[in-house]
């Protein structure tokens, strides 16, 4: 008799934990956004699942960047709410990787200090910053001379540095806006593997904007297909192939059919507009 | 190949050699009255004597001093204001006309006003030059801050950086290349104004006064010597700022 309340509490705590684990990480409700001449979002609802790698795929100018910028708090919303674990934006740590690494890195800082900069903003001490950068470099097995300035590095190296800069704060959500589109194919393949490794190791909720359907399916657990603006979530495709995925994965039937399905939906939507 | 490379180092001297040759030839053939155009040899002798034992050295230093003072004053005032104006596009737009207007006003037109304010002396020369240079620097700094890469600012914001930190860590550094453009233009303008002021505002020293006096005495070698000294000074100041810029703004243009 006396043990029962404790057991009940234990149970409810477990249930609570489970609910937290499966509850959406980000909840978007009634989101509206327009720019001077166009309505990009009109009463848009969407849930971003926790601990999944999700891709956003859609036609040019449909509002992919706008969406992640609004979630990251970089641009204001006109109406609606974006909740994190059911709470409005407070002190959430985001990681953000921009497409244009040349304009996103700080050229006056060496690569090492670029990676450490978000920690400096957070007020982390210098010795701790150095230790954490060294740790992430070791974790990712990066072999770049980090004493170089960004402009002395290749595009791929710069983007790798900028991914490390996003990861150094151990973000709750990682955004990547077409991170590999300015790299050559070989570098892109390498960077995909890096991203997958990071994801497998950390299970950070990740939102990837990609223009490459193959890449989107290959890397993702979920693919959000957006329509032309005002953007609707046309479909939220699941792809649950086990990780780590390899080049082999891309020739499996499941992969091919998922990709074909996404392409079909996409073409139908584009033709509509 | 290597011999060719070595020869390329000599390229900048070709112009100088041609100039000296044409000049010597003109003097030798007496195309121009020798009183108006002394030979290169007598000009450089006058320059050497003037710089080492004559008054030209003193005048040179005086002009350097005035130019540096006015540029320093201009920079101290204009850089903080430029950052302030540039950090808010609305503020800048509201004062843009005033800045552009005075930037377009020839600073020499301000001499009489500054004479009334500061009297005949160094303070007038330095303050007019500082006024001209300050507007040039202000304009460039403000534009440098305003044109800071949007993506870099967003990158800092997503890290949670405050407005002040973004201004300090991002916009300020972003504006440095443009600030140096302003400083170089500013120091050139300050030199122009100082030399003109030395000619016409009761001076007893300075390169401008030196040129003017030599002309009054019809001492052509001295006059050319002073002109070349002024040219060397302008070139040297520009080079100095370029060197500082290369050292501190290593990312400029990359
Ligand atoms: N600051 C702005 N002012 C006005 N219009 C804007 C602004 N930012 C974006 N837009 C417009 O909003 C629409 C969505 O832009 P967004 O950048 O989100 O598209 P996207 O899906 O990321 O496109 P892309 O695939 O080209 O990257 C576009 O039509 C764009 O022209
Ligand atoms: Mg985009």
Q: What's the total number of domains in chain A?
A: 2
Residue A177 placed within a domain: yes
Domain boundary among A139, A171, A203: A171
Domain boundary among A123, A141, A171: A171
Q: Which residues contact ligand 1 via a Cβ below 6 A?
A: A 35-36, 38, 40, 60-66, 229
First-residue to last-residue Cα distance in chain A: 66
Cβ atoms B238, B184 nearer than 8 A: yes
Residue A26 placed within a domain: no
What's the length of chain A?
A: 273
Burial class (CB in 10 A: 0-12, 13-18, 19+), B81: middle
Burial class (CB in 10 A: 0-12, 13-18, 19+), A44: buried
Residue A34 alpha carbon to ligand 1 centre in Å: 10
Region B2-15 average pLDDT = 81
Give tens-digit pLDDT for A194-238: 999 999 999 999 999 999 999 999 999 999 999 998 999 999 999
The enclosing domain of A202 has a CATH number of 3.40.50.300
In chain A, the residue whose alpha carbon lies closest to the alpha carbon of B155 is A104
Tokens for A149?
């300035």
A173: left (phi over 0), alpha (psi -120 to 50) or beta: beta
Separation between Cα atoms, residue B65 and residue B191, nearest integer Å: 10
Separation between Cα atoms, residue A185 and residue A194, nearest integer Å: 14
Domain assignment of residue A137, given as a range: 104-171
Q: ipTM value of the model?
A: 0.85
pLDDT range class, residue A167, cuts 50, 70, 90? very high
Mind telling me how many Å the CA of A154 is from chain B's nearest CA? 13
Residue A18 placed within a domain: no
Region B72-77 average pLDDT = 96
Residue A16 placed within a domain: no
A79 and A108 together in one domain:
no
pLDDT reported for residue A1: 42
pLDDT reported for residue A108: 96
Residue B164 neighbours by CB distance under 10 Å: 9
In chain A, the residue whose alpha carbon lies closest to the alpha carbon of B166 is A121
B251 contacts in A (CB within 8 Å)?
Answer: 107-108, 149, 151
CB contact under 8 A, B155 and A96: yes
Residue A39 placed within a domain: no
Does residue A2 register a pLDDT over 60? Answer: no
**Least confident window among A11-20, A187-196, B125-134:** A11-20
pLDDT reported for residue A142: 83
B100: left (phi over 0), alpha (psi -120 to 50) or beta: alpha
A82 and A180 together in one domain:
yes
Residue A182 alpha carbon to ligand 1 centre in Å: 18
Q: Which atom of ligand 1 is nearest to the CA of A226?
A: 21
Cβ atoms B178, B143 nearer than 8 A: yes
Give tens-digit pLDDT for B190-232: 999 999 999 988 788 999 999 999 999 988 999 999 999 999 9
Residue A174: strand, helix, or coil: strand
CB contact under 8 A, B161 and A121: yes
A82 and A185 together in one domain:
yes
A87: β partners = A84
Separation between Cα atoms, residue B61 and residue A129, nearest integer Å: 49
A65 and A200 together in one domain:
yes
> What are chain B's domains?
39-248 (1.10.3720.10)
A132 and A151 together in one domain:
yes
Residue A3 placed within a domain: no
Identify the CA nearest to B45 among candidates B232, B216, B234, B224.
B224
Residue A213 placed within a domain: yes
Omega cis (within 30) before A244: yes
Residue A114 neighbours by CB distance under 10 Å: 25
Residue A67 placed within a domain: yes
Give tens-digit pLDDT for A88-142: 866 789 999 998 888 999 999 999 999 999 999 999 999 999 999 999 999 888 8
pLDDT reported for residue A92: 84
Domain boundary among A145, A171, A197: A171
Separation between Cα atoms, residue A175 and residue A55, nearest integer Å: 10
A202 and A152 together in one domain:
no
A124 and A252 together in one domain:
no
Separation between Cα atoms, residue A138 and residue A115, nearest integer Å: 13
Q: Which atom of ligand 1 is nearest to the CA of A211?
A: 25
Measured in whole angstroms, how far is the alpha carbon of residue A43 from the centre of its chain?
Answer: 23
CB contact under 8 A, B160 and A121: yes
A205 and A233 together in one domain:
yes
Identify the CA nearest to A64 among candidates A151, A181, A193, A185.
A181
A191 and A246 together in one domain:
yes
Residue with tokens 């973004």: B166
A221 and A257 together in one domain:
yes
Size of interface A-B (CB pairs under 8 A): 49
A51 and A152 together in one domain:
no
A48: β partners = A26
pTM: 0.82
Measured in whole angstroms, how far is the alpha carbon of residue A191 from the centre of its chain?
Answer: 14
Q: Does B113 touch chain A (CB under 8 A)?
A: no
A180 and A162 together in one domain:
no
First-residue to last-residue Cα distance in chain B: 29
């Amino acid at each position: 008799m006396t043990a029962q309340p404790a057991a009940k509490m234990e149970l409810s705590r477990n249930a609570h934990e489970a609910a937290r684990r499966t509850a959406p990480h980000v909840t978007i409700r009634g989101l509206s956004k327009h720019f001077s001449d166009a309505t990009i979002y009109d009463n848009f609802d969407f849930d971003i699942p926790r601990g999944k790698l999700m891709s956003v795929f859609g036609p040019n100018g449909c509002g992919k960047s706008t969406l992640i910028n609004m979630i990251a708090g970089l641009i204001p919303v006109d109406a609606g709410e974006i909740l994190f674990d059911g709470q409005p934006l407070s002190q959430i740590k985001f990681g953000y990787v921009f497409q244009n690494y040349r304009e996103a890195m700080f050229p006056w800082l060496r690569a090492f200090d670029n990676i450490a900069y978000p920690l400096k903003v957070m007020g982390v001490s210098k010795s701790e910053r150095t230790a954490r950068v060294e740790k992430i470099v070791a974790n990712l097995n990066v072999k770049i001379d980090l004493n170089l300035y960004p402009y002395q590095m290749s595009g791929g190296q710069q983007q790798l540095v900028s991914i490390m800069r996003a990861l150094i704060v151990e973000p709750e959500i990682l955004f990547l806006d077409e991170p590999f589109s300015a790299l050559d194919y070989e570098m892109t393949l390498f960077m995909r593997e890096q991203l997958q490794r990071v994801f497998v190791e950390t299970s950070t909720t990740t939102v990837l904007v990609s223009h490459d359907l193959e890449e989107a399916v290959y890397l993702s657990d979920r693919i959000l297909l957006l329509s032309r603006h005002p953007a609707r979530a046309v479909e939220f495709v699941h792809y649950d192939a086990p990780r780590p995925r390899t080049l082999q994965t891309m020739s499996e039937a499941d992969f091919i059919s998922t990709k074909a399905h996404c392409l079909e939906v996409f073409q139908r939507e584009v033709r509509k507009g | 190949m290597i011999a060719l490379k070595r020869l390329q180092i000599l390229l900048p001297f070709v112009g100088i050699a041609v100039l000296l040759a044409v000049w010597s030839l003109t003097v030798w053939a007496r195309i121009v009255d020798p009183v108006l155009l002394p030979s290169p040899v007598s000009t450089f002798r006058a320059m050497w004597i003037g710089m080492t034992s004559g008054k030209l050295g003193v005048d040179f230093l005086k002009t350097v001093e005035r130019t540096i003072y006015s540029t320093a004053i201009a920079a101290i005032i204009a850089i903080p204001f430029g950052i302030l104006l540039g950090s808010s596009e609305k503020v800048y737009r509201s004062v843009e006309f005033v800045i552009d207007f005075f930037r377009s006003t020839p600073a020499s037109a301000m001499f009489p006003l500054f004479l009334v304010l500061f009297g005949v002396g160094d303070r007038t020369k330095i303050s007019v030059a500082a006024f001209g240079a300050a507007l040039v620097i202000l304009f460039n700094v403000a534009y440098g801050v305003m044109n800071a890469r949007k993506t870099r600012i967003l990158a800092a914001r997503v890290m949670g950086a405050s407005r002040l930190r973004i201004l300090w860590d991002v916009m300020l550094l972003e504006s440095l290349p443009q600030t140096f453009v302003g400083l170089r233009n500013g120091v050139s303008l300050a030199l122009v104004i100082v030399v003109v002021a030395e000619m016409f505002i009761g001076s007893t020293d300075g390169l401008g006064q030196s040129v003017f006096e030599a002309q009054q005495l019809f001492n052509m070698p001295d006059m050319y010597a002073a002109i070349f000294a002024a040219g060397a000074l302008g070139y040297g100041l520009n080079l100095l700022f370029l060197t500082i810029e290369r050292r501190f703004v290593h990312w400029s243009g990359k």
